[in-house]
A and B are shown apart, each in its own frame.
Chain A
Amino acid sequence: MTNKTLTDFEKQIAELEKLIDNLKQKALDTGVNTSEALEELQKKRDDLLKEFFSNLDAWDNAILARHQKRPYTLDYVRNIFDEFIELHGDRLFADDHAMVCGIGNIEDKQVAFIGQQKGRDLKERQYRNFGSAKPEGYRKAMRVMHLAEKFHKPIVCFVDTPAADCSVGAEERGISEAIARNMMDMMSLKVPVIAIVIGEGGSGGAIGIAVANKVAMLEHSIYSVIPPEGCAAILWRDPSKAKEAATALKINAESAKELGVIDDIIKESLGGAHRNADETAENIKEYILKCIEELSPKTGDELAKERYDKFRNFGKYIEN
Chain B
Amino acid sequence: MAWFNIENKKVKNAAQNLPDGIWTKCPGCNEILFNKDLEKTLKVCPKCGYHFKLTFQERINIFFDENTWEENNTNLETGNPLDFPEYDIKIKKGILKSGLKDSVVTGHGKVRGHLVSCAISDFNFMGGSMGSVAGEKIVRTIEYGIENKLPVIIFTASGGARMQEGILSLMQMAKTSGAVLKMNEAGLPFIIIMTDPTTAGVHASYASLGDVIFAEPGALIGFAGARVSAQAGVGNTSKPDDFQKPSFQLSHGLIDGIVHRKDLRKVVAKFISFAMEGEK
Q: Which of B62-70, B92-100, B162-170 forms part of the interface with chain A?
A: B162-170
Q: Which of A204, A224, A233, A235 contacts B166 (CB 8 A)?
A: A224
Structural contact, B174 and A168, CB atoms closer than 8 A: no
CB distance from A112 to the nearest CB of B (A): 20
Query: What does the 1/0 interface line of A253-295 toward B look like (CB < 8 Å)?
Result: 0011001010000000000000000000000000000000000
Structural contact, B171 and A261, CB atoms closer than 8 A: yes
Structural contact, B135 and A315, CB atoms closer than 8 A: yes
A94 in contact (CB, < 8 A): no
List CB contacts (< 8 Å) of A294-318 with chain B. 308, 311-312, 314-318
A163 in contact (CB, < 8 A): yes
Q: Which of B77, B161, B182, B234 contacts A168 (CB 8 A)?
A: B234
Task: Provide the bound-state CA to CA distance between A255 and B84, in Å.
Answer: 13
Structural contact, B231 and A230, CB atoms closer than 8 A: yes
Q: A-B pairs with CB below 8 Å: how many?
A: 200
List CB contacts (< 8 Å) of A13-70 with chain B. none
Structural contact, A320 and B203, CB atoms closer than 8 A: no
Structural contact, A251 and B167, CB atoms closer than 8 A: yes
B237 in contact (CB, < 8 A): yes
Query: What does the 1/0 interface line of B67-103 toward A look like (CB < 8 Å)?
Result: 0000000011111011011100000000000000000
Q: Which of A1-9, A79-87, A117-125, A241-249 forms part of the interface with chain B?
A: A241-249
A176 in contact (CB, < 8 A): yes
A187 in contact (CB, < 8 A): yes
A74 in contact (CB, < 8 A): no
Structural contact, B223 and A168, CB atoms closer than 8 A: no
Given contacts A171-B243, A225-B161, A317-B77, contact A176 B203 (CB under 8 A): yes
Given contacts A170-B223, A184-B209, A233-B227, contact A317 B79 (CB under 8 A): yes
Structural contact, B222 and A171, CB atoms closer than 8 A: yes
Structural contact, B178 and A176, CB atoms closer than 8 A: no
Structural contact, B175 and A168, CB atoms closer than 8 A: no
B274 in contact (CB, < 8 A): no
Query: What does the 1/0 interface line of A221-239 toward B look like (CB < 8 Å)?
Result: 0011110011101111001
Structural contact, B171 and A163, CB atoms closer than 8 A: no
Task: Provide the bound-state CA to CA distance between A207 and B172, in Å.
Answer: 10
Given contacts A166-B229, A183-B177, contact A311 B76 (CB under 8 A): no
Given contacts A177-B208, A226-B163, A235-B163, contact A187 B224 (CB under 8 A): no
Structural contact, A171 and B161, CB atoms closer than 8 A: no
Q: Which of B85, B178, B223 contacts A308 (CB 8 A)?
A: B178
B257 in contact (CB, < 8 A): no
Residues of B within 8 A of A171 (CB): 222-224, 243-244, 248, 252
Structural contact, B166 and A250, CB atoms closer than 8 A: yes
Residues on B facing A (Cβ under 8 Å): 1, 3, 75-79, 81-82, 84-86, 131-133, 135-136, 139, 161-163, 165-175, 177-182, 200-201, 203-209, 222-224, 227-229, 231-232, 234, 237-240, 243-244, 248, 252-254
